[in-house]
Amino acid sequence: MSGLTPVFLIGAGRSGTKFLRSVLSASRYVVSVPYDVGYVWRYGNESVPHDELLPSHVNASIKKYIRNELPKLVDSASTKKPLFLLEKSVPNSLRPAFLYEIYPEAKFIHLVRDGRAVTESSIRQWKSSPERGYLLKKLRYFPLKNYRYAIWYIVNMLKGIFLKRGQMTWGPRYNGIDEDARALTVELVCARQWRKCIEIAEEQLKVVPKSQVFDINYDKMMEDESVIRELVDFIGLEDAEQVLERFKITVQPTNKDKWRRSLTKGQLEEVNGEVAGTIEKLMKQGKLSQSK
């Protein structure tokens, strides 16, 4: 991979992956892909209607394409001396074993945030109107080789612009999400989306050597900068202070409990019915903070 060690930031949509990518990119040793690149990861598998790709979906051609294409997409700076390539496409939370099949040398960061907070934030994404300008900007990054994925992306976005929001999806596409989006409430689909991302990532990351996986608790990270120091050590960065300075400037710990104020009693009951078991399991493992 052009001499760069890949570092994959795995997390459900709205879990803080963009924030953490920005923090780690402060290091002069890190270059990152500045936007999610689903079209790269879906190369050769565009006909699969979901993001749950498996090692069996990898062949020599797909592996070669992805390993050649990803380094071309980094937002590099001339002053940097990069050693690591950071990528955080959120649908990758549904396919860590697929990534590991392509990059057995990679390091994985699994960022876990409370499913109720993620659901509250995701609901707003599903209900907001997509911007035509964003659609055009996104399409600029699709190479001709990925025209099939680009066509799907256009159709899905146009549904959100011209049709009912329930007829399109946002975020990681777990197997069955289209059927759920038509039949269930947005609240329940968002909650299930988080649960699927967490459970699949947890299970598939077991195939990766423990020395290559770092679990990170979102709430603990937002309250304690020592988590960032541990993460910097895990990656192998020698300029921890630069990363910590970026963290201190951008961290907003007061936002973490917004779901408590925003979700109605009925919404919370529906969401809890979907995520409570997974949250309890994560808390027992120390991967989520205990609820207050």
> Smallest Cα–Cα separation from 2: which of 80, 83, 86, 100?
83
CA-CA distance, 34 to 17, in Å (whole number)? 12
Task: Tell me what the pLDDT averaged over the chain comes to.
Answer: 88
Q: How confident is the model at residue 193 (pLDDT cuts 50, 70, 90)?
A: very high
Quickly count: other Cβ atoms within 10 Å of residue 168's Cβ: 18
Tell whether the model's pLDDT for residue 137 goes beyond 60.
Answer: no
Q: How far is CA 141 from the centre of its chain?
A: 19
Q: What's residue 287's pLDDT? A: 95
Q: What's residue 248's pLDDT? A: 95
Q: What average pLDDT does the segment 148-161 reach?
A: 59
The arrangement of strands across the sheet holding 213-217 comes to 30-32, 84-87, 5-10, 107-112, 213-217
Q: What average pLDDT does the segment 53-70 reach?
A: 97
Tell whether the model's pLDDT for residue 62 goes beyond 80.
Answer: yes
- pLDDT one-digit tens code per residue, 91-127: 999 999 999 999 999 999 999 999 999 999 999 988 8
- pLDDT one-digit tens code per residue, 36-52: 898 899 999 989 999 99
- Please name every residue paired with 214 in a beta bridge, in sequence order, or none if there are none: 109
Q: What's residue 128's pLDDT? A: 75
Decide: helix, strand or coil at residue 46. Answer: coil
Helix axes 240-250, 17-24, angle to 10 degrees: 140
Q: Which residue has the higher pLDDT, 121 or 75?
A: 121
Look at the pTM and tell me if it is higher than 0.75. Answer: yes
Q: What's residue 81's pLDDT? A: 82
Q: What's residue 264's pLDDT? A: 92
Q: What's residue 150's pLDDT? A: 61
Tell whether the model's pLDDT for residue 217 goes beyond 90.
Answer: yes
CA-CA distance, 258 to 116, in Å (whole number)? 10
CATH class given for the domain over 5-284: alpha beta
Q: What's residue 165's pLDDT? A: 45
Cβ atoms of 95 and 108 within 8 Å: the answer is no
Q: How confident is the model at residue 166 (pLDDT cuts 50, 70, 90)?
A: very low
Tell me which residue has tokens 């967490």: 198
- pLDDT one-digit tens code per residue, 231-268: 999 999 999 999 999 999 999 876 667 888 889 999 99
CA-CA distance, 10 to 229, in Å (whole number)? 19
